């Protein structure tokens, strides 16, 4: 930094501060920005709505003690449908929102490699997303508890592990899609239909490509789920490894795309 200059300039240009960029410091800085943005007053109603929507709907529509429909709410509607869509909407916007609003330049001109910037942004976002999902899952369990749904306590650990890994994998995939195109929502929904609802249900090894197929394997470790859905718990560790590998793979791809691709404010470059 400048070592010479007038008093006025010294005040502006460092003022004797030691500038030492680092990953932890950058994480703390970006987390502050992400947290304040995510939980801004304007956005809070949406966060609260998402957290309360399924628990409230499940509570209203499921009778006391009726385990099967409540589990359908938890697994089919919440875990395998709405949560991936929420991940798509939040993580797809990770970098894309900055591009669209033309604020990416404030970040990419900082002393941080693009790979680190992308990964730190992802971690900041995913921490918040996991917290929101955890809150939503807990509310869902409370809702089930109020309806006296049996075996919820036994399901909780498996469900939360599956949710945690699912948010990571879907979040990483969504971040990649957001980097590739501004129409990431459309691309994500098409991906969901083709891979998750289509390929994932083909009873051959090709279904390993589907994230939801591995989430089903994890959930099948719960006896009630096993009886209800007839999914197989075989290869649980393999599924966990695949989910971890998928997360890492999507992030590596995203980091490579972000490192080499130029993002320009003009409309042509936002495609």
Told to check if 17 binds another protein by CB under 8 A, we report yes
Separation CA 157–CA 139 (nearest Å):
15
Nearer to another protein, 234 or 268 (CB): 268
Q: Residue 233 has which token pair?
A: 């718990």
Told to check if 10 binds another protein by CB under 8 A, we report yes
- If residue 258 lies in a helix (H) or strand (E), which one and from where to where? helix 236-260
Q: Residue 29 has which token pair?
A: 């800085």
Separation CA 197–CA 59 (nearest Å):
27
Q: Residue 75 has which token pair?
A: 């697994």
Check: CB of residue 38 under 8 Å from CB of residue 123: no
Separation CA 242–CA 236 (nearest Å):
10
Told to check if 42 binds another protein by CB under 8 A, we report yes
Q: Choose one: 60-68, 106-114, 130-138, 189-197; the region binding another protein (CB under 8 A).
A: 106-114
The alpha carbon of residue 54 and the mean position of all alpha carbons in its chain are separated, in whole angstroms, by 18
Question: Please, what is the minimum distance in Å from the beta carbon of residue 9 to another protein?
Answer: 2
Q: By CB under 8 A, what part of segment 200-219 binds another protein?
A: none
Nearer to another protein, 60 or 260 (CB): 260
Q: Choose one: 87-95, 112-120, 166-174, 202-210; the region binding another protein (CB under 8 A).
A: 112-120
Q: Choose one: 80-88, 99-107, 172-180, 190-198; the region binding another protein (CB under 8 A).
A: 99-107
Told to check if 36 binds another protein by CB under 8 A, we report yes
DSSP letters of 19-47? ----HHHHHHHHHHHHHHHHT-TTTHHHH
Q: By CB under 8 A, what part of segment 246-265 binds another protein?
A: 259, 262-265
Nearer to another protein, 2 or 205 (CB): 2
Check: CB of residue 88 under 8 Å from CB of residue 72: no
Q: Which residues bind another protein (CB under 8 A)?
A: 1-2, 4-6, 8-15, 17-22, 25-26, 28-30, 32-33, 36-37, 40-43, 101-114, 259, 262-266, 268-269
């Amino acid at each position: 930094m400048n070592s010479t200059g007038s008093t006025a300039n010294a005040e502006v240009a460092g003022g004797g501060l030691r500038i030492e960029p680092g990953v932890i410091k950058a994480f703390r800085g970006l987390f502050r920005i992400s947290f304040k943005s995510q939980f801004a007053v304007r956005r809070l109603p949406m966060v609260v709505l998402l957290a309360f929507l399924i628990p409230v709907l499940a509570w209203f529509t499921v009778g006391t003690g009726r385990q099967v429909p409540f589990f359908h709410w938890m697994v089919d509607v919440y875990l395998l449908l709405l949560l991936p869509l929420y991940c798509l909407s939040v993580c797809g916007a990770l970098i894309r929102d900055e591009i669209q609003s033309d604020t990416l330049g404030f970040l990419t001109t900082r002393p941080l490699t693009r790979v680190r910037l992308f990964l730190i942004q992802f971690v900041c976002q995913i921490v918040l997303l996991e917290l929101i999902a955890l809150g939503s899952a807990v509310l869902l369990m409370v809702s089930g508890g109020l309806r006296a749904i049996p075996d919820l306590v036994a399901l909780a650990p498996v469900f939360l592990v599956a949710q945690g890994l699912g948010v990571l994998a879907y979040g990483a995939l969504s971040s990649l899609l957001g980097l590739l195109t501004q129409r990431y929502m459309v691309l994500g929904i098409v991906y969901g239909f083709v891979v998750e609802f289509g390929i994932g249900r083909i009873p051959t090894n090709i279904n390993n490509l589907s994230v939801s197929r591995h989430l089903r394997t994890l959930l099948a470790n719960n006896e009630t789920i096993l009886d209800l859905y007839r999914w197989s718990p075989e290869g649980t560790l393999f599924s966990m490894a695949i989910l971890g590998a998928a997360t890492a793979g999507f992030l590596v791809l995203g980091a490579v795309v972000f490192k080499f691709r130029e993002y320009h404010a003009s409309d042509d470059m936002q495609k």
